[in-house]
Amino acid sequence: MPDKARIFRPAASWLPGGGRYDFVDLAFLGALLVVWALSEAKAIQSIASGLVVLGALGHGWRQGWQWRQRWALWLVIPFGLSLVAGPFTSTTSLWWRDLWQKLPFLALGLSLAVLPPFRPRQYQWVWGGFVVIQSLVALLTLGRFFGNYAAAMEAVRQNAEIDIVGSISHIYFGILLALSVFLGGWLAWQEKGTWLGRVMLGLSLFNAAALHMLTSRTGLLAFYLALMGTGAVLVYRRRAWRLGLGLMLLMAGGLSLSYWTIPSFRTRVQVTFWDLQGYRYRDRDLSHHSATLRLLAWETAVSYIAAHPWGVTGIAELEPTLRAAYRDRPLPVAAEALPGNPHNQYLEYGIAFGLWGMALLVLMCLLPVWSGPRPPHLLTISFLILIMGGMLTESLLERQAGMYTLIFFMALLPGYQQAQSSI
């Protein structure tokens, strides 16, 4: 009978941490690959998440089934909501599709809860590799942007997306790029005075500049909300007045400097204000104004939720429900141009699950933070503000990149704090 403790323990000193490996390290390898592949490879994300599940099953089988990272259990809420919506969904095939799409919340939430925290050095490999990969994608994208500058600027003036190298939307890449600034800044602080610290600082500054040049409004909004929130936490919790106020001044200075020195950022700001004027006066056709279309979708969603505060239709019925709500409102937009979802995760859950669904979504974001190590790590708070800010202008959990970003960072960041405190 083979020794269970030696299964999946090959000699692999080249892996981060060195030495001999077990099921937890198999799960770590999966988490590493998922996080590194967030901006580029959906197939790798799916396969690597399977390694996390296998690692959790093996660890539970060998060490006993215990909840070692209880905060990850809250991540099953989106799957539970979709499951409960089944009896209220008229199209069974759409409900099954939505349930299948939400399955990672169940499988990965339970798996990450069973696994113990990784080693501190392993987390640093995850964060550092993530920062480097976002920098490479940003560099290649900027190369293409400036290589065809006239067409790229015309796309910005037309409120069109800037194509990101790879398969990810510029909205989701903006979120990842913003997150990489915080992770790179933290590693630079931790490794200050070393070559790694200097590299991370340089990449963090580059990614911040790239975020403004690529003008993802969702990423920029989330970034500045997180920057402001992080500064406020430093002032309140640590009495670090200079550092906290410095971050807030950096926010104001970054916006001003970007506006006057980066043409694509300035153009995007001007186009956004033009869109807002169109929404306010509604004196022209708004079918090709993306910011205005979002605002009209939000307005319609709020009216629907106010009329059906406790109704449950499910995510599968979201688009027909929202389009039916449009027909009850006179809007200066061609019907086919109206969004099929509100581009706001909170309003999307409000339409699909009522006010109690919105409340559970907020709790799903807050509870992993507050049920983890206390007080929450500064990185965890920054990520929480960033992801919840991004949900204001995009339904982040309805695409794989957004879903995996929330699942893994919401579980790994408290785990990183616990691993550091156990040294």
pLDDT band at 241; cut points 50, 70, 90? low
pLDDT of residue 7: 38
Q: What pLDDT is stored for residue 61 in this prediction?
A: 92
Establish whether the linkage from the previous residue to 375 is cis, with ω within 30° of 0.
yes
| Backbone phi, psi, residue 419, to 5° | -65, -40
104-113, 238-247, 319-328, 367-376: which has the highest mean pLDDT?
104-113
Q: Which residues pair with 298 in a beta bridge?
A: none
Residue 70 has pLDDT above 90, yes or no: yes
Q: How confident is the model at residue 68 (pLDDT cuts 50, 70, 90)?
A: very high
pLDDT given at position 347 = 96
Displacement of CA 275 from its chain's centroid (Å): 26
pLDDT recorded at residue 144: 93
382 vs 308: CA distance, rounded Å:
34
Torsion of CA 301, 304, 310, 315, to 10 degrees: -50
Residue 190: helix, strand or coil by DSSP?
Answer: helix
Handedness of CA 63, 67, 71, 77 (dihedral sign): positive
At how many degrees (to 10) do helices 290-307 and 263-281 cross? 50
58 occurs within a structural domain: yes
What are the angstrom distances between the C-alpha of 44 and each of 40, 106, 202?
A: 9, 19, 28
Mean of the pLDDT values across residues 408-414?
96
Q: Which residue do the tokens 């982040």 mark?
A: 396
Question: Taking the alpha carbons of 411, 417, 422, 423 in that order, is the dihedral positive or negative?
Answer: positive
Inside any domain, residue 133: no
Give exposure, 372-392, as e/b (b: 16+ Cβ within 10 Å). Answer: bbeebbbbbbbbbbbbbbbbb
Task: Please check whether residue 264 lies inside any domain of the structure.
Answer: no
Tell me which of 87 and 33 has the higher pLDDT. 33
Region 37-64: mean pLDDT is: 93
Cα dist. 209→69, 171, 174, 219, 266 in Å? 36, 16, 12, 12, 13
When pLDDT is averaged across residues 386-415 and rounded to a whole number, the result is 95
Question: Residue 368's pLDDT is what?
Answer: 86
Q: Tell me the DSSP string of 199-257.
A: HHHHHHHHHHHHHHHHT-HHHHHHHHHHHHHHHHHHHHHH--HHHHHHHHHHHHHHHHH
pLDDT, position 423? 52
Task: For residues 143 and 134, give the distance between their C-alpha atoms in angstroms, rounded to a whole number.
Answer: 14
CA of residue 248 relative to chain centroid, distance? 22
Residue with tokens 């925290």: 117
- Reported confidence tier of residue 3, pLDDT bands at 50, 70, 90: very low
Q: What is the pTM of this model?
A: 0.91
pLDDT tens, residue by residue, 14-47: 445 444 458 999 999 999 999 999 998 889 999 9
pLDDT tens digits, one per residue of 266-306: 988 888 888 888 777 777 666 677 788 888 899 999 999 99
Count the domains in the chain: 1
Distance CA 407, CA 76 (A): 9
How much is the pLDDT for 239? 65
CA distances from 346 to 357, 392, 417 (A): 9, 7, 28
Of 382 and 254, the structure prediction assigns the larger pLDDT to 382
Residue owning tokens 């990614």: 207
61: in domain = yes
Per-residue confidence (pLDDT) for residue 356, from 0 to 100: 93
pLDDT at 354 over 90: yes
Q: What angle do CA 25, 27, 30 make, to 5 degrees?
A: 110
Q: What is the mean pLDDT of residues 359-376?
A: 90
Is 243 among the domain residues?
no
CB neighbour class for 269 (10 Å; exposed up to 12, middle 13-18, buried from 19): middle
When pLDDT is averaged across residues 107-131 and rounded to a whole number, the result is 95
Name the more confident of 151 and 8: 151
The predicted pLDDT at position 83 comes to 94
Orientation of helix 400-421 relative to helix 120-147, angle to 10°:
140
Distance separating alpha carbons of residues 405 and 387, to the nearest angstrom: 9
What is the residue range of 19's domain?
Answer: 1-66
Select, from the ranges 228-237, 247-256, 394-403, the one with the highest average predicted confidence (pLDDT).
394-403
* Residue 10 counted as domain residue: yes
Q: Say whether 80 sits in a helix, a strand or coil.
A: helix
For residues 110-131, give the mean pLDDT: 95
- Residue 31 in any domain: the answer is yes
Distance CA 94, CA 363 (A): 26
Poorest-confidence range of 94-103, 230-239, 265-274, 341-350?
A: 230-239
pLDDT tens digits, residue range 368-396?
Answer: 888 888 888 899 999 999 999 999 999 99
Confidence class of residue 334 from pLDDT cuts 50, 70 and 90? confident
pLDDT at 1 over 70: no
Task: Tell me the pLDDT tens digit for each residue of 297-319.
Answer: 999 999 999 999 988 888 988 98
Averaged pLDDT of the chain: 87
Look at residue 8 and tell me if it is in a domain. Answer: yes
Residue 19 backbone dihedrals phi, psi, to 5 degrees: 95, -150
Tell me the sheet residues that pair with 11: 20
